[in-house]
Amino acid sequence: MLELLLAAAIAACAVPADLTPAPAGPPEETRITPVETLVLAFYWWPQECRRADAAATPGCHAGFGLKVHGLWPDGPGTTYPQFCRVAPPLDLAEVRRNWCLTPSPSLLQHEWAKHGTCHWPDAATYFAKARRVAATIVLPDLDRPNVATAGAVRDALLAANPALPRAAVFVGTDRNQWLTEVRVCLDLADRPAPCVAGIGAADVVPVRVWPR
């Protein structure tokens, strides 16, 4: 069933013919901590595409809503591992395979380097896991007039995924209270679990949602 859902999602997304991998980024601080939980983060893509360094990517012209930011291994409390080993550039086949999951070659490269290297043996295994977990989450359309608070964002996600506990849904906003992302917290068996570092914006917090 998950593979059918994934196939349907890919069929609805056209991979650009001229897609190219992003170069590996500069070395960044390595942080090694035990992995205790996972977080699957989804960007609200219209807001992500407002950033100057993202707006020119092909994925910012496709009318996407929620798209995977990354699958993150998380540590105890507010700590998490990052940049655990050298991450060579992704090959073109891997970028094409995952573009409909995360429509940005540079973000795919960054997520593998920062997060994937800390819990998975290679990029193919990391992204396969991200695709499988993402396929279990039904993503609502948040570009609606009644989505005006962080609680309404959670309500929309929970209505589409009744098995999700409310405490497993993190809602992120920027300093101007624009919705930036939604995260689903998981245990190491991929089951929804309360977010150990908190749920972000409280239900009563007003949010603004940039339209698609």
Angle between helix axes 2-11 and 123-134 (nearest 10 degrees) is: 100
Neighbours of 169 (CB within 10 A): 24
Range of the domain at 166: 33-186
Distance in angstroms (rounded) separating the CA atoms of residues 185 and 162: 15
The radius of gyration computed from the CA coordinates of the chain, to the nearest angstrom, equals: 16
Contact, 116 vs 123, CB < 8 A?
A: yes
CATH for 171: 3.90.730.10
**Tell me: the pLDDT tens digits for 106-125?**
999 999 999 999 999 999 99
Q: How far is CA 101 from CA 14, 20, 57, 166, in A?
A: 11, 16, 14, 24
Give the mean model confidence (pLDDT) for residues 152-162. 97
Q: Does residue 201 lie in a domain region?
A: no
Token couple for 8 = 């349907």
- The model's confidence at residue 62, banded by pLDDT at 50, 70 and 90, is confident
Contacts of 114 by beta carbon, 8 Å cutoff, 6+ apart:
28, 70, 82, 83
Q: Does residue 43 lie in a domain region?
A: yes
**Tell me: the pLDDT tens digits for 42-58?**
999 999 999 877 767 77
Give the count of domains, the chain.
1
Q: Does residue 127 lie in a domain region?
A: yes
Q: Does residue 202 lie in a domain region?
A: no
Q: Please tell me the pTM assigned to this model.
A: 0.91
| Count of all residues that appear for the chain in the document | 212
Contacts of 71 by beta carbon, 8 Å cutoff, 6+ apart:
38, 39, 40, 41, 111, 115, 116, 126, 129, 130, 133, 134
Q: Does residue 204 lie in a domain region?
A: no
